Amino acid sequence: MPQAILIVMEDVLFSQTLRHKLSRFGVKVFVTETPVQALELLGQRKMDVVLLDVRGNNLPAVQFLKELKKTASEVETILISSIDDVGISIECVREGASDEITVPFDIDSLKTKVKEAAKRSRLRQKQRKGKFGLLDSFQQAMVAATFAQEGEFDSARTILNKNKAERKADDKKDNKKTGRKPEE
């Protein structure tokens, strides 16, 4: 599951119900009622997934997605829609929404969609940083394996631990630059 989810929904009762149900899975869940509040929060805190309610509310959702793409492009967005919202759903997907769930839905379906979106978000974050590519990880592991094969276990551990420490330092630096709080 993701570290943090943001629910953007005017329906306070529904959003609090979702917050409660998703929190049971060990996830931090934040709720805002408007896209403007959501963008403010996203500027302060790192999120993996945004659940965006588009039921009968098309213009703010599209504009929100345009702004989200500019400020936090690694965040995955799942639309919460109704059968009547096909047009807005299509427009939102064009603007970067990655998935959709139609009301009524069961919490297990939502949980599955959120887990998948969180994986994509983390992958996008890693790709954006350009530090954790598969090739880089493979090269680092091969260098460490070469040392280990020659009996230089301490050197192999040093290489792996150094890369791990560099990644943590880079993450801290990135969080300071963006002003976002690190994942907890």
Per-residue 3-state assignment (H helix, E strand, C coil) for 13-46: HHHHHHHHHHHCCCCEEEEECCHHHHHHHHHHEC
Are 167 and 142 part of one and the same domain? yes
Number of domains making up the chain: 2
Q: How high is the mean pLDDT of the chain?
A: 80
In the predicted model, is pLDDT for residue 16 greater than 90? yes
Task: Looking at the chain, list the stretches that DSSP marks H as alpha helix, in order from N- to C-terminal side.
Answer: 12-23, 35-44, 58-71, 86-94, 107-129, 134-149, 153-178
Residues 90 and 148 in one domain: no
| 40 & 10 share domain | yes
List the CATH number of the domain containing 112: 3.40.50.2300
- 123 and 145 share a domain? no
User: 122 and 162 in one domain?
Assistant: no
Residue type, 55: R
Percent of the chain scored above 70 by pLDDT?
A: 76
* Tokens encoding 150: 């020659």
- Residue that wins the pLDDT comparison between 158 and 46: 46
pLDDT (tens digit, 9 = 90+) per residue, 89-142? 888 888 888 899 988 999 999 998 998 888 888 887 776 665 555 556 666 677
Q: What confidence score (pLDDT) does residue 30 get?
A: 95
83: domain range? Answer: 4-129
Q: Are residues 97 and 138 in the same domain?
A: no
Mean pLDDT across the stretch 19-34? 91
Shared-domain flag, residues 121 and 164: no
Give whole-number Cα distances, 181 to 73, 93, 171, 174, 176, in Å.
17, 28, 11, 10, 8
Which two tokens mark 167? Answer: 């990644």
pLDDT of residue 146 exceeding 90, the answer is no
- The reply to whether 183 falls in a domain is no
Report the distance separating Cα 31 and Cα 27, nearest Å.
13
Residue 28 phi, psi (nearest 5): -80, 125
pLDDT confidence of residue 85: 80
Task: Answer yes or no: do 88 and 149 share one domain.
Answer: no
Do 76 and 23 share a structural domain?
yes
Instruction: Kindly state whether residues 34 and 81 are assigned to the same domain.
Output: yes
Does residue 132 sit in helix, strand or coil?
coil
